[in-house]
Amino acid sequence: MTEFAGYLPGLARDAVAWQTLGFGAGNDAVEIAVPALDGAQTAALAARVRDAARANLKPLPVARIAAILDRAVARLLDRSDPYRKRAEALLPRVTGYDAEMVRLGLTEYLKTFRRPELLKFLAEDFANPQMLDDFQPVPKGGFARAFGPELLVQIWAGNVPGLPLWSQVSALLVKAGSVGKLSSGEPVFAGLFAELLAEVEPAIADCLAVVWWKGGDEAQERAWLNEADLVLAYGGTDALDAIRARVPVTTRFLPFGHKLSFGMVAREALDSRKAWAAAHAAAHDVIRYDQQGCYSPHVFFVERGGRVSPREFAGYVANELSVFERKYPRHALSAGEAGGVAAWRSAEEMKALAGDGDGRALLGDAAGAWSVAYAEEAEDLAPGGLNRTVRIVAVDALDDALPRIAPYRAFLQTVGIAAPPETLHRLAALLGGAGVTRISALGHMTAPEAGWHHDGRFNLLDLVAMVEIERSAEAAADGFAPYAD
């Protein structure tokens, strides 16, 4: 079975070279053909998208764009729709994630792109979203308008299903012509969404494209970077450094690198009833897409003094991970992933042996699909082995975790907290000062709200240029009006 990925308005399929990527095995095997464009096709596609956006997308009121997106997302939420059926059939086979996890996760994710949520998205970044349509009065006097780029190039990474939708939607809301580069780990959803959008609203069918090039293909990457007015890229530090070096100095570059997230559990959440709920929520954050997201937890700092001890809480989390494994099995690991898990377990086993009865423990079978390491003495935040490996660290007070996260300030992102209101707000101030950019409830770490500020930045404002008409220009204009004396 071969599926064609990407979305190439104006280019006939038989005029394009295709490269095949293989996924899965046995009855679940699937081949995804991704486009490999030459230089002339790249230039033609960039021009087509840029011209179409200028003619068809930029004149649309932003409210109309939100309504178009809503119609497309409504179809993806309909499990009888052919596009939803394709997504449900292909994404588990391509990513290896459990089909039911993908189904539930996709529905929850897509709901954040319905029209009411998109309006929140707009209001979060613009006090007056009509600023995207026309000049609007501003408090300091004069008028201002927000203009999206002519061509936004997006370079996606990772294999979390549907992740490119954030930047695809953002590009459309600021009326940018956009081209996205598929990740080889999940090359399905972005093109599928573009196809659906073109069907829902043919007028904007040529305003976006979804392409692919082999990682490390410097010539193809430079071709697209030279076409862009703005480049948005996701990936590891080395990959982003390489892209930055190739982006022209006159082109804006927005990088989103790897991040580190963790959880905190206060003693008030550790009575016999609440502790199980907290453990269930924590385990859910661990198993969702097997910790592949930047918002997935690697460590939970757990406060002593509750009816349930941190060590007992670690056992609760282990139990919940075991239950989740039966319900949503972990994806089959690649050799590299299996090696990472084995190395992490080995390091934790060595710590436990060296501790000589200091309270350390490693829960979970080496051949199993999850592992929980427990540390009785406080230790620094550190990346885990991914794929359902997590560390529980006991602390006398949650404040004690602050010095432990300091070495990773530049990489901090999400913290999931189970704590009473006063503790939540006090910790939020401390965590924000330490570099954390998002705080959620346990169980919601992997499901950001619509309009969240990714890595503390603005999803839409970062994409636009503000054009101002100053009061002096207005006053001077009066002197040239027909009514001027």
Q: What is the pLDDT of residues 87-108, one digit of tens each?
A: 999 999 999 999 999 999 999 9
- pLDDT tens digit string along 178-235? 999 999 999 999 999 999 999 999 999 999 999 999 988 999 999 999 999 999 999 9
CB 33 within 8 A of CB 20: yes
Distance in angstroms (rounded) separating the CA atoms of residues 265 and 262: 10
CB 351 within 8 A of CB 307: no
Q: Is the pLDDT of residue 36 over 90?
A: yes
Domain ranges for the chain: 2-258+453-469, 260-441
- pLDDT tens digit string along 382-429? 999 999 999 999 999 999 999 999 999 999 999 999 999 999 999 999
Give the side-chain half-sphere CA count within 13 A for 332. Answer: 9
- When the candidates are 3.90.76.10, 3.40.190.10, 3.40.309.10, 3.30.930.10, the CATH number that belongs to 260-441 is 3.40.309.10
CB 404 within 8 A of CB 380: yes
Residue that the structure tokens 């509750």 belong to: 306
For domain 2-258+453-469, which architecture applies? 3-Layer(aba) Sandwich (3.40)
- pLDDT tens digit string along 306-353? 999 999 999 999 999 999 999 999 999 999 999 999 999 999 998 888
Distance in angstroms (rounded) separating the CA atoms of residues 54 and 208: 12
The pair of three-digit structure tokens given for residue 186, joined into one six-digit string = 């999940």
CB 224 within 8 A of CB 153: yes
Q: Which of 91, 169, 403, 437 shows the shortest CA–CA distance to 295?
A: 437
Distance in angstroms (rounded) separating the CA atoms of residues 425 and 440: 12
The stretch 52-63 carries a mean pLDDT of 98
pLDDT of residue 23: 95
End-to-end Cα spacing for the chain: 77
Distance in angstroms (rounded) separating the CA atoms of residues 97 and 31: 17
- Cross-strand partners of 393: 301, 375
The pair of three-digit structure tokens given for residue 105, joined into one six-digit string = 């996760």
The stretch 288-296 carries a mean pLDDT of 95
Burial of 485 (0-12, 13-18, 19+ CB in 10 A): exposed
Amino acid in the structure at residue 349: E
- Cross-strand partners of 178: 152, 208
Q: What is the pTM of this model?
A: 0.94
